[in-house]
Amino acid sequence: MKNTFVTGNEEQHSRYISAYNKKGERIPPFLLPAISSTGGLKSTMNDMLQYLEHQMGILDSPLKEEIECTHEFQAKTPWKNYNMGLGWLIAEKKWSDYPVIYHDGKTTGFHTYCGFIKEKQIGIVVSSTIQLKNIRLIQILLNLSRVVNEDIAESIFKHNLNKPG
């Protein structure tokens, strides 16, 4: 994963996706140096897909056992049918016999979802630059509302689970 970075060089920043508000004005990247994990990790879609392939066991890794440990139950959450792995949410969905393991992130102007159903080898990465009102962001953070990327991912999971074979 050669195109995933926190600070990055000029060439990497030149390829960084820009988000825009409803007026067409560029929204600057969200920077919180004290909490670099919040919007701090930047990656290309190719690197995200490679990361997902490692998580699903499609690509071999010397960290395979450690990766698998991150998918195991670690703690309950306050939300029904959701548990915590190490850095992952583990969701039990009515429409799947297997858990959906995912992580998503939201900052001003950017939303990313990375999830998979390991047993079925279905993986999804969705990234968007949707500008949401602050109240909707708060609702999403409190799990009172879903984000567009989750709806897209769920639709893709359902479609692929219903394929014969």
If pLDDT is split at 50, 70 and 90, which confidence band does 112 have? confident
Residue whose structure tokens are 């968007």: 128
Please give the mean pLDDT across all residues of the chain: 84
Show me where the domains of the chain are located: 4-161
Q: What is the structure's pLDDT at 11?
A: 85
Q: Does domain 4-161 have CATH number 3.40.710.10?
A: yes
DSSP 158: H
Model pTM score: 0.83
pLDDT at residue 108 above 60?
Answer: yes
If pLDDT is split at 50, 70 and 90, which confidence band does 50 have? very high
For the segment 42-64, the average pLDDT, to the nearest whole number, is 92
Tell how strand 42-43 and strand 75-76 pair up. Answer: unpaired
Contact 40, 6 (CB under 8 A): yes
Q: In whole angstroms, what is the distance from residue 36 CA to residue 51 CA?
A: 19
In this structure, how many other beta carbons lie within 10 angstroms of the beta carbon of residue 38? 13
pLDDT at residue 150 above 80?
Answer: yes
Q: In whole angstroms, what is the distance from residue 50 CA to residue 44 CA?
A: 10
If pLDDT is split at 50, 70 and 90, which confidence band does 7 have? confident
Q: In whole angstroms, what is the distance from residue 21 CA to residue 132 CA?
A: 9
Indicate the range of 108-122, 126-140, 146-160 predicted with least confidence.
126-140
Please give the residue that has the higher pLDDT: either 22 or 90: 90
